[in-house]
Every structure is written in C-alpha cells, then in structure tokens.
Amino acid sequence: MATMFERFRLKRRQLPDRSSPQSEMKLPNFFIIGANKAGTSSLYHYCRQHPEIFMSKNKEPMFFTARGPLPAKDEKVVNKPSLYYQYFTLREYMDLFVSATEPVRGEASTAYLAHPDSTMWIRKIIPDAKLIVILRNPIERAISDFEFQTNRNKSESRTFAQAINDALNGYIRPTNVDPQRYLNLGLYGHQLTVVKRFFPDNQLFVADYEEYNRDTVEFVQKVYKFLGVREFVPPDTRRENVSGHATPDISRTLENKMKQYFEEDIKLLQSLVNFDVMKWLQ
C-alpha cells in the first residue's frame, strides 16, 4: 500500500488545470475540521441551508486522513479500521462536489483536527481553503464523546471514570473504545500548533463552543461572514447529533486528574487563540 506521501504526490498530479472553472467546482474551498463533539454536525446543518453554500452529502468524507481504500469484505482490518474510507482517489473525492453550483463548497471532517498533519495535504492541494475550528472544554468534550460511544455507537461498556483511568494508565481493554481518544482529541493546543504551520490566521476561524451555545444565530452569522457569503438565518436551527442522555457523574478527584492532564496544552492553546481558555482549568 502506498504511503501517505506517495498517495498525495500521485493525487496532486491528477489535479486538472486550475485555470478551468469546471475543475475548481469539483473541490471544496472550506472545511469544518473540529473539534469532535463541539457542534460540528449542527454547523454543517446550518451551512447546508445557506443558498450560497454547498456541503458534501457525506458530512465527513475524511479524504485527507484515509490510509487506503476500504478493504474487501472478506479482509480483516486489524489496526484502526476508521482510517480506511471509501473516498480514496482524488476523482472519487472531487465527485462529491461535481454537482455544486454554489460559490462556496465545504465538508466537515473532524478527523482533520484530530490528525492535524492532514491540513498539510489540504494546503498542498487546496492552498486557499478556509478552515473552521470550534473548541470545547476538553473535559466536557470527553464526557460528550463518552456518551456518544456508550449510547449511540454501543461500543463502550465502562463507566466514565473507568475509561479515563484506563486512558491515564495506558490500559486498553480489547472489547472497548481506545480510551486515549477521550483525552487526546482534546489536546487542541498541539493540534492547532500544527494547523497554524500550514494556514495563516486569515484563513482560520477559531471559536469558543460556549459562544456558539449562547447565541447560535449570531455565531452562524460570523461563520457566514468568514466564508464571504451574505447574512442568512437558517430556517432550522435545531441542534444535530445530540445524545440526549444524562451526563455521567464525575468526581472532583477525577476532574482534577483531567485538568492536570490538559493543563500544559491549555496554556499552549491560550497563546494561539483570542478568547479565554484558561477558564477550563478553574
């Protein structure tokens, strides 16, 4: 199987002449890259309603993280099957946008922030792309992710405390979700540091999830302005992909352990954003 570098080197050669408007229409020009469990499904839904925005029918193609095509049905995927996606070739990916007539085209793969080196490939293939990042208190994000894995995916059987302690101790139970995701997906400082190596600030929209929650319509107007489309109030402002289940209890001891785990990364993040994230440590 080709390495990631070989794969994208080959795919970039397949790009049509950039002077052709028809070829440009087959690529997105913005991405909602995360964070996971920070309202990205809802934002995808609001963008999809705007008359000047086209969103891929598949919310998360994850093209820029895929290691290879989906294995054959009789082939066992031993390591991280989530890194194999159906849109492996550039042509398959471009076909997601071939019907777009809107000037702004996007997709919403949160794996791009979780695997920020994917933004290097976005930069190489779509250098003028705009990226949207919403950041949520990493402890709240972990809880929401745990609820999703427990109640929607039915793949988590531990308590939240057991899962986090497994993550802190480096223990992986073979019948459960890799617990490291509950912690590592919240290391926004390290993730955003990589993203900023490849994209200048004027191509990044980095925002606080709490602002998003306070006034969804006003927040979405800021996103629309960033994308260069007109003001528009989405007819349907319901939240998407909400678990609707009770939040697990978290002891003060466990909360303090998690704050200690995230502390250095949050301090790093504060140097990269213009809103208060130190409040997450209070």
**Alpha carbon 75 to chain centroid, angstroms:** 28
Share above pLDDT 90 across residues of the chain, in percent, rounded to a whole number = 67
Distance from C-alpha of 180 to C-alpha of 166, rounded to nearest angstrom: 8
Read off the pLDDT of residues 38-84 as tens digits, 9 standing for 90 and up: 999 999 999 999 999 999 999 999 888 865 544 455 444 444 444 44
Read off the pLDDT of residues 137-167 as tens digits, 9 standing for 90 and up: 999 999 999 999 998 878 899 999 999 999 9
Residue pair 43/95 in contact by the 8 Å Cβ criterion: no
Instruction: Tell me the domain boundaries of the chain.
Output: 4-13+23-281
Average pLDDT over residues 225-235: 97
- Sort 252 into a burial class: Cβ within 10 Å, 0-12 / 13-18 / 19+: exposed
Distance from C-alpha of 39 to C-alpha of 129, rounded to nearest angstrom: 21
Read off the pLDDT of residues 87-137 as tens digits, 9 standing for 90 and up: 667 888 888 999 999 999 999 999 999 998 899 989 998 999 999 999 999
For 87, half-sphere exposure in the C-beta direction (CA atoms, 13 angstrom radius) is: 19
CATH homologous superfamily of 4-13+23-281: P-loop containing nucleotide triphosphate hydrolases (3.40.50.300)
Place of tokens 């678990």: 243
